[in-house]
Amino acid sequence: MGGRHFDIAIVGGGLAGGLIAAALARTRPEISVVLVEAQQVLGGNHRWSWFESDLSPEGAALLHPFRKVEWDNGYDVAFPGRVRTLSSPYRSLASAEFDAGLRRILPEGAIRTGREAVTVDREGMILDNGERIGARVVIDCRGQPKSAHLTGGWQVFLGRHMRTDDPHGVDRPIIMDSTIEQVGIADPGAYRFVYVLPLSSHDLFIEDTYYADSPLLDRSLLSGRIDAYCARHGWEGALLGSETGVLPVITGGDFAAYQAERRVEGVGRAGTLAGFTHPLTSYTLPFAVETALAIARDADLPADQMAAMLEGRARHHWRDTGFYRLLGKMLFGAADPAQRWRIFERFYGLQQGLIERFYAGRSTQLDKARILMGKPPVPLTRALGALLQKGPPMNGQEAA
């Protein structure tokens, strides 16, 4: 079955693919683009959050057309020995608003949802209905970096959107509440915290999150723990929606081998599939934004050069984020499982600018020294031992 030909075809309508299409529509409207997504909606069922300081002015402009929740009064963190309010403005974007925004931004015919790309090559793709879509450049944004060539742990979570019967009284995000029972999922040493976003006076997004050695996610168990957290705070109301996630926390590996394993000659790769994620926090939005802007700047490149440019950016990202992988090794390999929260408690006692640069993946050498200096939250001998360990391969499968 014949099909259309486009300048750029994007496979995968999640955050990375959608932002690439948005950046091209914003700065290069003369370039024809198609965005292909297997699901009926773009962005899946997710919520992405970020600090205002994570983005450049150009990046903030790219996200401006999307309806999002904004908090200019900072956020809170809570640990057994520390409660702190930081003034950094915080933002959050739900996938439903992402889908709606893209449908407003992109021209008619640019979005193909409910169609899976069954084969992808340098000249286009074949969809599950037999249609062939041709393109000068193809960019694959599907999937996550699960591979035996990468090592690390997992961030697993269940989030719930609820509407409370009475005003909930939360006036700013709680990024990390660790004043809860530290119990794991399949892994008894998983570090647990709760994340809370006040979306309106009666709407809350509550997420039960774990830094775990295993990718196992038990939805029923986590749902019960959110119930208990809500009861503790006196929140009652209606469930409006939920989401789950199993995100990689990459601590090491052979990135060149990983790239070779996933490479399709002449096809560019972006998003978490390409490794554009924060190794420790699993944040993706700031890196998806910058990658989208880079593709828009170089939108005239032929297929081979676009693929090479993106591979080069991914290699630089891997190199530049090595410090965070080192910290992840110490978190998973050196910290006493029941005391992993102490690492985060100490971190959130540091200077606010350092914390902002950390989340953005732009820590300075002085920042890195400050994070490592002083009394360590893990024994030095165990920290050194963890750095010498290879770590478990990240080819595990999520369990429901």
Q: Is residue 84 assigned to a domain?
A: no
Q: Is residue 197 assigned to a domain?
A: no
- Could you report the per-residue pLDDT of 185-223, keeping only the tens digit for each? 545 557 889 999 999 999 999 999 998 888 888 899 999
* pLDDT value for 399: 36
CB 206 within 8 A of CB 162: yes
Q: Is residue 257 assigned to a domain?
A: yes
* pLDDT value for 390: 65
Q: Is residue 171 assigned to a domain?
A: no
Q: State the residue range of the domain holding 22.
A: 5-69+91-147+252-320
Q: Is the pTM of this model over 0.85?
A: yes
- Could you report the per-residue pLDDT of 72-86, keeping only the tens digit for each? 999 999 999 899 999
Q: Is residue 36 assigned to a domain?
A: yes
Q: Is residue 177 assigned to a domain?
A: no
The residue among 388 and 333 whose pLDDT is bigger is: 333
pLDDT at position 398 over 80: no
pLDDT at position 245 over 70: yes
* pLDDT value for 186: 47
Q: Is residue 161 assigned to a domain?
A: no
pLDDT at position 375 over 80: no
CATH of the domain at 289: 3.50.50.60
pLDDT at position 156 over 60: yes
CA atoms within a 13 Å half-sphere pointing along the CA-CB vector of 120: 23
* Number of domains the chain is built from: 1
Beta strands in 95-214 (DSSP E): 111-113, 117-121, 124-127, 132-140, 147-164, 174-177, 191-198, 203-212
Q: Is residue 189 assigned to a domain?
A: no
Q: Residue 354 corresponds to which tokens in the numbers above?
A: 């350092």
Three-state SS sequence of 299-349: CCCCHHHHHHHHHHHHHHHHHHCHHHHHHHHHHHHCCCHHHCHHHHHHHCC
C-beta neighbour count of 169 within 10 angstroms: 11
